[in-house]
Amino acid sequence: QVQLVESGGGLVQAGGSLRLSCAGSGSMHSIKTMGWYRQAPGKQRELAAAITTDGSTNYADSVKGRFTISKDNAENTVYLHMNSLKPEDTAIYYCHADDGLFHFWGRGTQVTVSS
C-alpha cells in the first residue's frame, strides 16, 4: 500500500507563490510516476504536472513556465513550486502516484488565489 499526504496549500494573492509537498510512504519503491492533479469547483480534475522515475517532467499548458515539479527520491517526497499564481489556479491539489497497475491519491490540499 502507498499513502500520500499533501501539505503546503493556503491562501495567496495573485502573483504570489506557494510550494506544495507530497510525502509518500509504504511501497514507494514500486512507483513509476508521480504528479499533481487539481480540481477547481465545477471543473474536471486535470493533471497539472507529473514526474517519472528518470526525472522526466511534463506540465499542463496552463501552468507551464510557472509551476515546477521536483522530487527527493531519498525522502519519497514530491514538490510543486507554484509561481506567478493566478485566480484560475484556485483548486484542490491532489498528489498522485502510480506503479503501472494501481493508482494512489492523497486527500488533497486547498490552494486559493485571490485577485
Encode pLDDT of 49-106 as tens digits: 999 999 999 999 999 999 999 999 888 999 999 999 999 999 999 999 999 999 999 9
Q: Which pLDDT score, from 0 to 100, does residue 71 have?
A: 96
Among residues 102, 115, 104, the alpha carbon closest in space to that of 23 is found at 104
- Cβ burial of 33 (10 Å; 0-12, 13-18, 19+) is middle
Q: Which pLDDT score, from 0 to 100, does residue 111 have?
A: 98
Q: Which pLDDT score, from 0 to 100, does residue 73 have?
A: 86
| Separation of alpha carbons 110 and 30, rounded Å | 28
Amino acid 88 reads E
Among residues 112, 100, 106, the alpha carbon closest in space to that of 37 is found at 106
